[in-house]
Amino acid sequence: MSSSPRRPAGLPERLDTDDTLVMGVLNVTPDSFSDGGAHDDAPAAISHGLRLVGQGASIVDVGGESTRPGAPRVDEDEELRRVLPVVTALAAKDIVVSVDTMRASVAAASIEAGALIVNDVSAGRADVDMGPEVARLRTRLGTPPVFIAMHWRGHSDVMNELAVYRDVARDSAAELAERLSALREAGVEDRFLVADPGLGFSKTGEQNWEVLADWPTLSSHGLPLLIGASRKRFVSALGVDRDLATAAISAYSAEHGAWAVRVHDVGSSVAAVRVGDRLRRSVRR
């Protein structure tokens, strides 16, 4: 459906597949709305990460700062304390780890600890050093890290007030395109970039559905795409099992050619992306 590259450079060969990948969420935070802080200590978080891989996750996304609407920021030392032992242990098992952070210093320390991907929900807006730092970094595989750049308008304490658009799909894609240009100017190469529409970030329930429904606009960046709908309010608001509803969005995303989906419940989305992949291959273009 889209002619965008299917996947970024810089990852192990086993991820060189046309199948949509499943990224498992590992929030190492006491205030995460998703897991209630159940993994706020390294051993529990590490075993949860291994469980995600066992269920079929190709990537584990480790985050030490909640981005839940209204959440306060954590300081840098605390963020490092939460993520580094987990990144180190999972990377030592040759697991592909991404670090979900808005801080260049945390990105750098995590790449040093073995992560291969920097997932910055602010796409370099929260920390001006992020773009140049990621361009400079080299992973344990000897390449720059993959950089996931998401559409973002502001920190969690204010983001719900910022959900004002003329046309949410087009406006948010245009804003992300500006960020992508800034990152390229900072030296991040296109082949390491992934775009993410930022579902649930400064968008009302209805606006999230409008963004997701407009796949041509969503995929207009000419980059691999990551979709993160898992357990978000607009999904829970359907009033059905939020992981099954997330899996349905995973099938839709795979059918449209997403590179990866970011989910909490890996098993259901692994099955769902297989259906989406299978359909995509049989669609007459």
- Give me the least distance between CB of 94 and ligand PMM, in Å please: 22
Smallest separation, CB 119 to ligand PMM (Å) = 5
Q: Beta strand pairing status for 117-120 and 96-100?
A: parallel
137 makes contact with ligand PMM (CB under 6 A): no
CA 232 – CA 211 distance, rounded (Å): 14
Spatial separation of the C-alpha atoms in residues 275 and 280, rounded to whole Å: 9
Q: Which is nearer to ligand PMM, 90 or 285 (CB)?
A: 90
Residue 262 binds ligand PMM (CB under 6 A): yes
Catalytic residue annotation: 232, 262
Q: Count CA atoms closer than 13 A to 40's CA, side-chain side.
A: 14
- SS3 for 135? helix
| Conformation bin of residue 8: beta by default, left when phi > 0, alpha when psi is -120 to 50 | beta
**Tokens in use for 9?**
């450079």
Which contiguous run of DSSP H or E holds residue 86?
A: helix 76-92
Shorter beta-carbon distance to ligand PMM: residue 85 or 228: 228
Q: How many residues at the interface with ligand PMM, by CB under 6 A?
A: 18
> Which residue number is nearest to ligand PMM in terms of Cβ?
228
Q: Is 68 in the site for ligand PMM (CB under 6 A)?
A: yes
Residue 121 in the binding site for ligand PMM (CB under 6 A) = yes
CA dist 259 and 81 (Å) reads: 30
- Minimum CB separation of residue 9 from ligand PMM in Å reads 18
Only segment of 163-171, 202-210, 226-234, 247-255 that touches ligand PMM (CB under 6 A)? 226-234
Binding site for ligand PMM (CB under 6 A): 25, 27, 32, 34, 66-68, 100, 119, 121, 148, 150, 196, 199, 226, 228, 231, 262
